[in-house]
Amino acid sequence: MNKKLGEHTYLLESPPFIAASAAIGGAKEGEGPLARDFDMIVSDDKMGKRSWDLAESAFLKTAVEIALKKAGLEAGDIDCALAGDLQNQCAAAHYGMREMAMPFFGLYGACSTMTESLSVGSLLMSGGGFSHIVCGTSSHFCSAEKQFRNPLEYGGQRAPSAQWTVTGSGAAVLSCEGTGPRVTHVTIGKIVDKGIKDLNNMGAAMAPAALDTVTAHFRDTGFTPSDYDLILTGDLGTVGSSILCELSAKNGYDISSVHNDCGMMIYSDEQDAHAGGSGCGCCASVLCGHIMKELERGVYKRIMVMATGALMNPTTVQQGESIPSVAHAVTIERG
């Protein structure tokens, strides 16, 4: 069963186990500082497929397959898959999952999708009836650039606040019994829009949503930043992270000593990613790779993971609209 705490947060009275997870990265991710914690690095950005779009589907499918194998499960054991991605109509997830014959709910939370899937999955599992749920998402630099910005061949200059869409995927298997880290709390985010219209500054657009969710989480639970060994945002990058830390401190919750951001972790300064990594696959691959391994290695005991998503599309921005955002947070405790 689940129990509501305060306004946005749910205590999972039967906290699901993260039985296994898997992360796949592309060539650039394989040259970054987290390379050794990926389960697979794919140097061919088409992964043998005839388009980047289909390659992204293959990334997700492979991440799910590896996670299932590590959990000792087969596709038929999964009660429900929860996935989504940045491609129009979430096509990467649909084509990636179509051969797996699992009951499937599609989610869309832009770059917040990984923690959205963990949130929905954990709430469903704690509510009874579900034994195994797989949560996953993906992004691909090439499929995202051509869809959201410019053809790659155009070679457009990138602003200093711009982020680099991660080519990667992550998947996690939730199980109602077993061992491993457990998802204990979920804080569901609201849509927040502070009027940012710059498609090259996603960090600034998303930071207010992260602030709203992290503040709600502390208010609802009574936790403070010192209750966490790590507060990990998805892809605020350097610009959004500094905004979040500054405003959170003003709200009475100084998270700066425990905060890190997947977008700031996945590439080194030399990799020319400007404000950091982004995309659904950023939080997914860093969480399902490096962070889950750090939990295993005993580096952390309790962490919060909060991916953030920018909820515009190119048409709405061309029509002059600002960028709504959302952030969902899950608390994960080492088993």
Binding site for a copy of itself (CB under 8 A): 1-4, 8, 10-11, 13, 50-51, 53-54, 79-80, 84, 86-91, 94-95, 97-98, 100-110, 116, 119-120, 123-124, 126-131, 147, 188-193, 311-316, 319, 321, 324, 326, 328
Q: Cα torsion for 326, 233, 107, 3, to the nearest 10°?
A: -80
Q: How far is the CB of 236 from a copy of itself (least distance, A)?
A: 19
Q: How far is the CB of 199 from a copy of itself (least distance, A)?
A: 12
Beta carbon nearer to a copy of itself, 53 or 235: 53
Q: How far is the CB of 257 from a copy of itself (least distance, A)?
A: 28
Beta carbon nearer to a copy of itself, 11 or 258: 11
Q: How far is the CB of 278 from a copy of itself (least distance, A)?
A: 14
Beta carbon nearer to a copy of itself, 135 or 230: 135
Q: How far is the CB of 99 from a copy of itself (least distance, A)?
A: 8
Q: How far is the CB of 309 from a copy of itself (least distance, A)?
A: 8
Beta carbon nearer to a copy of itself, 238 or 325: 325
Could you tell me the sign of the dihedral formed by the alpha carbons of 52, 54, 55, 59, in that order?
positive
Among 39, 15, 20, residue whose Cα is nearest residue 302: 15
In order, the DSSP letters of 10-35 are EEESSPPEEEEEEEEE-HHHHTSTTG
Pairs from 101-108 (Cβ < 8 Å, separation ≥ 24): 101/75, 101/76, 102/75, 102/78, 102/134, 103/78, 103/79, 104/80, 105/80, 105/81, 107/82, 107/83, 108/84
Beta carbon nearer to a copy of itself, 49 or 293: 49
> In angstroms, rounded to a whole number, what is the distance separating the alpha carbons of residues 169 and 61?
9
> In angstroms, rounded to a whole number, what is the distance separating the alpha carbons of residues 42 and 21?
17
Beta carbon nearer to a copy of itself, 80 or 330: 80
